[in-house]
Structure 1
Amino acid sequence: MGVHHGHILRILRDEGPQSRADLSRRSKLSATTLTHVTAALLRDGSILEGDTSLPNGVVGRPAQAVKLAPDARSVAGVHIGAGNVQVAITDLLARPKATAAFAFDTEAADPDEIVGQVSRTVTELAAEVQVETSRLLGVGIGVPGPVDPARRTALASINVGWRNVPLADKLEDALRLPTTVEHNVSAMALAESHYGIGKNVPALLYIYLRTGLGAGLMVDGAPFRPGGHGAVELGHIQIVAEGKRCACGNVGCLETFVCERALMDAAGLKGAAPDNLLARVEQNTAAWDVVVRHLTTALASAVNILSPDLIVFGGHLGDAPQSLFERLERDLPLRIMPHMRDILSIRRATFGAQSGAIGGAAVALDQFFYSGALH
């Protein structure tokens, strides 16, 4: 693995074009080593050369700079949710070139059928953007629930009824492309940290609400993977001692109050959940107060334990009415440690409906490109 190559690529991704002198200082590589690394990256097209601009009033020849070539290669990102799958082909900055989605029945969620459909969709999207499937760097898959430390197997996806499903093996057999698997909300957190609102944020907590409530944590640009499994189970913090039975087997979990099913009931809705689900719940004042109160309690616990600088809301929380943010800004500081009160901020996710697929792409980019694995 080209560790130095990956280091240089990450600097160019995060900080933009650099002169070789600046790259040498930032990377702490010798001039000789940097010359060899940049030469290899230029040969394979991962980076390009150009001139840096000189400050106003400075006369002379501009320094030769290098920059990332985002269109040089592509990856596929996949998000498997409860009843839906998103797929995207992206460039090296996780910007989508083509996207697609399909639904499946959670009551009969056959992993082999879903993998087959994912494989066909990736192939179709690659053709759409005129990229040979074999030229993709790899595939990143976000799945609900924890994954194994090697990031190849979905260990326990409660909402689709999966246990110990070797998704990476299955998709590699179907597509003949390297594949990695990650907890889906951790993948979204990774995307926000490297390509979205969380750039240069020391600790980012991403909270995603759809069928269930999940969370992912990034620390210094790297996923926090407790036990090697990736999932931060915010939805399964016990809020009340005597409450409804949760899908996890416990009672009174936050997810029994803050999940699509509970929120649909609170809003008096049937059928598919609307994008403005939380705004609809807000119209039921009593139900809304319960939701916000319990969410605040869980967030206070998470902040006091994890100390994030930034909380990012995705899914239905990303579409929540502004009043939710105002309530949290009012009530949450009183329940967290004093040193966190001036640090913490809460923002909506950058990537909206495409967060899942872009998260999968971000995982693939980390594993197969910015690690230096290509070199």
Structure 2
Amino acid sequence: MSSATPKKRLKPKISSPSSSRQSPIALEPPRHLFPSRQELRRLAAVLAIASSVAVACHLFASFLRPQTKPFCDSGLGPLDAFADDCEACPSHGECHQGKLDCAHGYQKVGRSCVEDGDINETARKLSEWVENCLCEANAQLLCYGTGTAWVPAEEIWNNLDGHSLMKNFGWDTANFNYTKQKAVEAAGKIMESRTDLSGMKVLKCPDSVAELFKPYTCRIRLWIFKHVLLVVPVSLLLVASAMLIWKVRRRWILSTRVEELYHQVCDILEDNALTSKKGNGETEPWVVAARLRDHLLLPKERKDRVLWKKVEELVQEDSRIDRYPKLVKGESKVVWEWQVEGSLSSLRSRKKGEQGKLKSSHGRHLNLDQPSHELRRDLQASPHWINERKGVHS
């Protein structure tokens, strides 16, 4: 069976070679004329990749730039507004022939309308200004009873025209009026409002808020009037305490000064008496009380009669000092004289004299008969006593 099959297939090939060369139809085509299977596969792969890239680019471009629908007109009904061929007009916007226009106080952002930040900020500041004006007016009325608390809304509307913030919007513009309206509406939510007899709307700041706008002087005065039953007794008590403290302090200062002057008087009288005794009567042993007073007191203290009167009382109680009238240069004067005999200070003066002689033997001259440095300065200020001291030293 296998040998019979090849014989049948070889019959055309055994035919004469001259016949096969003469007919071109019987010739086979060249191998490079048609692509091979491998080349076909490569071509299919390239076409597939190119198609994928084209589809991806188309989708990406359509995603970046989506085809927007026009806006539906604002006057359409609710069913027509949701049609497939147009987009519903956003809130606070007006649409006409597919275009969007935002209302006053709103600006277009994308395909929606949002509030204008500048207008809102200006309206807020204007509203605060209106509140301050109304609350200050009510506070003035509550404190002093002058002015009025109810202000017409029309007056507030007109006053906003001259505000500096409104210059940013120009005059007679839609934003200008819209900003004023929004400011008045915001202030009206906080203020009290009513309609007067003429039918006009008036606004007033609440009393609770106006309390915060009262000046401190007004608050103190109203508080005193409210708590007068407590303030009056406390004030009287404080005044009485202050007067008592002042009197006690003045008495203490007066008594201290009186004692100081008294000791100065004693030292001056004693020193004058000892000087007169040592000078063999060249100087008087007494001193005029009025001159001694003018010498010791300061100019402002001479007007205080109580001060020297207290000194005189201490001098009267002192048994070492004699007081008697004497005719001096034709005038009767009260003189004071220190009793040298039996004085406890004479022993001290004797000791001082002995110490002075001891120091003078060493070539030093020291006058121990003088009182303290303060008294020596006071004595030098009086010409009468200076001459007496010179007589003693001579």
Query: With structure 1 as the length reference, what TM-score do the two structures score?
Result: 0.22
* Higher Cα Rg, which structure: 2
Which structure carries more relative contact order (alpha carbon 8 Å, separation 6+)?
1
More helix by percentage:
2
Structure having the larger proportion of residues in strand: 1
